[in-house]
Amino acid sequence: MVPLSWYLIVAAILFCVGVFGVLARRNAVAILMGIELMLNAVNVNLVAFWRYLEPDKMVGQAFAAFVFIVAAAETAVGLALIISVYRNRETVDVENVDLLKW
């Protein structure tokens, strides 16, 4: 049997990899990829808790399903914003789009 703590460790490692991706990348799309990794790590945590602690209540699965939905909506809007910024500024390097008005 796989102990619950192993799943939580994997989720923690994946979350930290996502944080590294968000902090250490200059391209906006790469930052979004790091955010997706973090959301997936959170989902793994939720589903592992559901399975090991309360498998007969559907709370865990419903919560994870809602995280899917929110991640999809946020990715769509985030990528639309990035494409719009690229059209205006010809770059998606976050080091160069750091002023509110220029």
Dihedral sign computed on CA atoms, order 27, 90, 85, 101: positive
When the beta carbons of 7 and 102 are compared against another protein, the nearer one is 7
Q: How far is the CB of 57 from another protein (least distance, A)?
A: 8
The H-or-E segment that residue 91 falls in is none
Q: How far is the CB of 91 from another protein (least distance, A)?
A: 7
Q: Report the 10 Å Cβ neighbour count for 59.
A: 11
**Residue 59 near residue 77 (C-beta atoms within 8 A):** no
When the beta carbons of 54 and 101 are compared against another protein, the nearer one is 54
Q: How far is the CB of 99 from another protein (least distance, A)?
A: 18
Q: Report the 10 Å Cβ neighbour count for 2.
A: 8
When the beta carbons of 23 and 99 are compared against another protein, the nearer one is 23
